[in-house]
Amino acid sequence: MPKLLFVNSSSCYIGGVERYIAQVAQLLRKDGWGLYALFERKSEKEDGLIDQFDQVFYDDPRSRNNLYTMLKEVSIQCAFVHKVSDPSLLKSLRQHFKMISVIHDHDYYCLRKHKYYPIGRINCKRPFRRLFCTACSLGIERKSGGMIPFRFLDIDAKQELLKEIKKADVSIVLSEYMKSNLIRNGWDAEKIHKIYPIQKLYDPPMKKKSESIKLLYVGQLIRGKGVDLLLDALRYIKMPYKADIIGTGNDEMFIRNLIIKYGLHEKVNLIGWANDVVPFYQNADIVIVPSRWQEPFGLIGVESFAHGKPVVAFHVGGIGEWLQDGVNGYLVPENQPKLMAKKIQELMTDFNKMLKFGENGYKMVAEDYTTQCFMSRFKTVFNLLEESHKK
């Protein structure tokens, strides 16, 4: 069976990228693939991600030749690249192995990573342009820890990183939206393949009509996720409801103050971090995705469908890939809280439609987001890669 080298910056769970890596690794292992990993840095606290692999390596630019000798001894066939920050690592990997990249988000072609402008938070539709993007980012990025909350960007390195990742033999995306972004930024369209993620299905609970509807948000409490827009929408809903907000982030105090400002403290529960979100999905009637930024895909929506729950979301990024307006939920034009409130309330008043939308979403996940679908598509991409190198 093939042997893959997973490549990523972090060796511990940080977010969706690492969860994706673990999920795919578990699936490929069951199919008999050999799995190895190369991380740019070793995390202080390992939390299980490295346990998915037969052997783990950590990058050291001074000893890369020794590393590649070891990797060739175990017959690595392909570098499976996720998030990388060092362009020289990408360049050296490409010289030794075939390369598949997964473009999870906007980091490679947006210096701010958020894909919206800092003033007005208007979504950006432009491709990477050095002068414009440097001005937009002010040449800095946030960092955690230390007295100064930001650091200066190495623009040359960022530009070189984009140049190198575009040279991957194959790039995988999760949505047509991301495919169009890559093409706009100079990727070869023929090398881009869309593969939907895997989503486990849950047994939806029997729902009974209730006088008070349960709304749910799951995600980070950061400006790009639009929790402030959700609260703005909730204050216009006149029907009885309870809303659970699951997550943490640097906007938490801002969100708490908005809840008080809008008089929502008796209706909105700020839960914080939850290790197990399944009970919250099971108890919800409607899931809200109020994202301000252009979601590369929006996995929360598919998770919601896996529990048989309808979704109301702003139409940004790849959300329209899975949310079919009037079929499994409602798509709302971006940054319009009043209209979102109207659509939420419209669904709240129609219990049968709420159930039907949830059933339609569940059916979609059952058909398109299975392990069988993923493996079939991934093997097709891998075989195409193998055939192209035989020619």
pLDDT of residue 390: 66
Q: Is the model's pLDDT at 310 over the cut of 90?
A: yes
Give the CATH number of domain 213-368: 3.40.50.2000
Residue type, 286: I
- For residue 355, the model assigns a pLDDT of 95
Asked if residue 309 has pLDDT above 70, the reply is: yes
d(CA 163, CA 108): 9
C-alpha–C-alpha distance, residues 248 and 221, integer Å: 5
CA pair distance 133, 112, nearest whole angstrom: 8
pLDDT at position 391 over 70: no
Sheet holding 170-173, edge to edge: 55-58, 34-39, 3-8, 78-81, 98-102, 170-173, 192-194
The whole-number pLDDT of residue 378 equals 95
Higher pLDDT, 117 or 211: 117
| Overall fold of domain 3-109+153-198+370-390 | Rossmann fold (3.40.50)
- pLDDT tens column, 16-38: 899 899 999 999 999 999 999 99
The phi and psi torsions of 4 (rounded to 5 degrees) equal: -110, 145
Reply yes or no on whether the pLDDT at 146 is more than 70.
no
Reference 5, options 41, 52, 46; nearest CA is 52
Residues forming CATH 3.40.50.2000 domain(s) in the chain: 3-109+153-198+370-390, 213-368
Task: Please give the full DSSP string across 206-260, using - where no structure is assigned.
Answer: PP---SSEEEEEES--SGGGTHHHHHHHHTT--S-EEEEEE---TTHHHHHHHHH
Residues 6+ apart with CB under 8 A from 280: 216, 218, 244, 246, 271, 274
pTM (2 d.p.): 0.91
Confidence band (pLDDT; 50, 70, 90) for 145? Answer: low
Contact 3, 54 (CB under 8 A): no
Selected residue with higher pLDDT from 250 and 101: 101
CB 133 within 8 A of CB 203: no
Element (H, E) at 204: none
Ranked by mean pLDDT, the top range of 8-12, 205-209, 255-259 is 255-259
Instruction: For residues 41 and 39, give the distance between their C-alpha atoms in angstroms, rounded to a whole number.
Output: 5
Per the prediction, the chain carries an average pLDDT of: 93
Cα 78 from Cα 88, distance rounded (Å): 17
- Tell me the CA distances in angstroms from 355 to 84, 206, 347, 351, one per residue in order: 42, 10, 10, 6
Residues 6+ apart with CB under 8 A from 182: 103, 171, 173, 192
User: How does pLDDT run across 352-390, given as a tens digit for each residue?
Assistant: 999 999 999 999 999 999 999 999 999 999 998 887 766
pLDDT of residue 149 exceeding 80, the answer is no
Confidence check: pLDDT of 335 > 80:
yes
pLDDT in tens, 44-82: 777 789 999 999 999 999 999 999 999 989 999 999 999
C-alpha to C-alpha distance for 162 and 168, rounded to whole angstroms: 11
Cα–Cα distances (Å) from 283 to 177, 214, 304, 330, 356, in that order, read 31, 7, 11, 20, 17
**199: helix, coil or strand?**
coil
Q: What does the DSSP 8-state code read for residue 297? A: S
- Quick one: which H or E segment has residue 316? none
Quick one: average pLDDT of 135-158?
A: 84
Q: Does 126 score more than 80 pLDDT?
A: yes
Q: What is the structure's pLDDT at 14? A: 80
